């Protein structure tokens, strides 16, 4: 635009003095337009090229990453044993310590809740138990055996995981509930799992029932409905170890109540580990671990910690809203 103004201004002066004809000025303007457009295209090309270079580097990095070994080790038949976490330390590649000498025991059939401020290492602890990472120090045992001694496929097959926002794939409700299972699921099994997850009522009200398309990432369903489908999926897997990662924290109070009832059904008779920000799970847990800056600073049941741990008391009063219950 600046060049166009300069050419028109200077060219107009030249035309006024007779040194340049009007046709020659128009020709200069047309030449300028024809030059500017390719220059803009070159600029866009180099911008897209830089994006492609960055994306390609990430793709190559992913392709070169070491694959998980799913077959080495011993087949795990039953996970109905205590899980011992002993002096576990962990740091990511950046070198910042996330967990430091963390030790606790998860009793079979009991509920263990992990609470603490954001960034204290709660989700990292889940990742270590699921074997997405290996501890830098210490060990995690199931009974007397290191969990690394079991095949990855058999270890993870014993774990059911319900996250804060249960991810759904583009497909039907049936496909989402049955996702990840290597056997045929009967209609009776499917309906029973949906009923225990309190999902059967809203599913049957949909036009196509279990064949209803949920859309990309489940956009056609509400948050509470997605959570209940995630719980039904976990129920259908019938896991012996259950991990709940703030499974009700993003829901409104009405949806939270229904989902909490479904979680109660899911937790019966299973070894349960909960990252908890909600009142009922924490109050009823058999063991509460307070994780602070990568260290366990308190453990016990709710009433005991509320009396003896100042930060837990503050945390419970503000985030868990237990003041009226205590």
pLDDT in tens, 62-119: 899 888 888 788 888 888 888 999 999 998 876 778 888 889 998 888 888 888 877 7
Query: Percent of the chain having pLDDT more than 90?
Result: 7
Mean pLDDT across the chain: 82
Query: Tokens 């603490």, residue?
Result: 116
pLDDT at residue number 322: 46
Q: Which two tokens stand for residue 286?
A: 């058999």
User: Rounded to whole angstroms, how far apart are CA atoms 247 and 232?
Assistant: 13
What is the Cα–Cα distance from 189 to 175, expressed in whole angstroms?
14
Per-residue pLDDT band at 32 (split at 50, 70, 90): confident
| Confidence (pLDDT) at 216 | 83
Helix (H) or strand (E) holding 98: strand 97-106
Q: Are 262 and 196 in contact (CB under 8 A)?
A: yes
**Sheet with 241-245, edge to edge strand ranges:** 159-162, 241-245, 271-275, 111-115, 287-292, 295-300
Q: Where would I find the H helices in the chain?
A: 2-17, 22-64, 122-129, 152-157, 173-177, 187-196, 200-205, 223-237, 253-267, 279-284, 302-308, 310-318
- Average pLDDT in the 128-146 region? 89
pTM higher than the cut 0.75? no
H helices present in 65-164, as ranges: 122-129, 152-157
pLDDT of residue 34: 83
283 touches 264 (CB < 8 A): no
Q: What percent of the chain has pLDDT over 70?
A: 92
pLDDT, residue 52, reads 94
325 band by pLDDT with thresholds 50, 70 and 90: very low
**What's the pLDDT at 280?**
57
Mean pLDDT of 258-263: 72
Q: Which of the four pLDDT bands, split at 50, 70 and 90, describes residue 323?
A: very low
Most confident of 31-40, 130-139, 177-186, 202-211: 130-139
Average pLDDT over residues 205-229: 82
More confident position, 281 or 42: 42
Predicted confidence (pLDDT) at residue 156 exceeds the cutoff of 80:
yes
Backbone angles phi, psi at 133, to 5 degrees: -130, 160
Q: What integer pLDDT is reported at residue 53 of this predicted model? A: 93
Does residue 250 or residue 191 have the better pLDDT? 191
Burial state string for 271-306 with b = 16 or more CB within 10 A and e = fewer than 16:
bbbbbbbbbbbbbebebbbbbbebebebbbebeebb
Torsion of CA 168, 173, 177, 182, to 10 degrees: -100
Q: What is residue 278's predicted lDDT score, i.e. its pLDDT?
A: 60
In contact, 114 and 71? CB cutoff 8 Å: no
Mean pLDDT of 292-313: 84
Question: Is 59's pLDDT higher than 90?
Answer: yes
Q: Is the pLDDT assigned to residue 39 strictly greater than 60?
A: yes
Given a cut of 70, is residue 279 above it in pLDDT?
no
Angle (deg, nearest 10), helices 223-237 and 253-267: 0
C-alpha radius of gyration, the chain, whole number: 30
- Per-residue pLDDT at 50: 92
Token pair, residue 313, equals 């008391």
Residue 246 appears among annotated catalytic residues: yes
Q: Spot the catalytic one: 246, 256, 292, 314.
A: 246
CB-based contacts of 191, cutoff 8 Å, min separation 6: 200
User: How much is the pLDDT for 326?
Assistant: 41
Beta bridge partners of 45: none
pLDDT the model gives residue 225: 82
Distances (CA, A) of 239 to 112, 114, 162, 170, 279: 16, 20, 12, 24, 24
- Are 35 and 27 within 8 A, CB to CB? no
């Amino acid at each position: 635009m600046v060049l166009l103004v300069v050419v028109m201004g200077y060219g107009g002066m030249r035309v006024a003095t007779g040194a340049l004809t009007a046709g020659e000025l128009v020709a200069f303007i047309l030449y300028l337009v024809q030059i500017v457009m390719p220059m803009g295209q070159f600029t866009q090309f180099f911008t897209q090229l830089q994006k492609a270079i960055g994306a390609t580097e990430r793709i190559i990095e992913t392709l070169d990453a070491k694959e998980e070994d799913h077959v080495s080790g011993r087949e795990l038949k039953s996970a109905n044993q205590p899980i011992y976490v002993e002096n576990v330390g962990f740091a990511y590649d950046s070198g910042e310590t996330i967990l430091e000498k963390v030790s606790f025991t998860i009793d079979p059939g009991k509920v263990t809740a992990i609470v603490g401020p954001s960034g204290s290492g709660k989700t990292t602890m889940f990742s270590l138990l699921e074997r997405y990472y290996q501890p830098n120090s210490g060990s995690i045992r199931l009974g007397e055996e290191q969990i690394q001694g079991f095949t990855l496929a058999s270890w993870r097959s014993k774990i059911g995981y319900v996250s804060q926002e249960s991810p759904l794939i583009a497909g039907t409700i049936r496909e989402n509930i049955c996702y990840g299972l290597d056997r045929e699921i009967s209609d009776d099994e499917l309906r029973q799992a949906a009923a225990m997850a309190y999902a059967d009522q809203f599913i049957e009200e949909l036009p196509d029932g279990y064949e209803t398309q949920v859309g990309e990432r489940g956009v056609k369903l509400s948050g509470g409905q997605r959570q209940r489908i995630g719980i039904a999926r976990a129920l259908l897997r019938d896991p012996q170890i259950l991990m709940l990662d703030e499974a009700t924290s993003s829901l409104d109070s009405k949806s939270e109540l229904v989902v909490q009832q479904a979680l109660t059904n899911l937790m019966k008779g299973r070894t349960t580990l909960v990252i908890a920000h909600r009142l009922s799970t924490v109050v009823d847990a058999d063991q509460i671990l307070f994780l602070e800056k990568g260290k366990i600073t308190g453990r016990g049941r709710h009433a005991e910690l509320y009396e003896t741990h100042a930060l837990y008391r503050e945390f419970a009063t503000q985030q868990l809203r237990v003041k009226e219950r205590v």
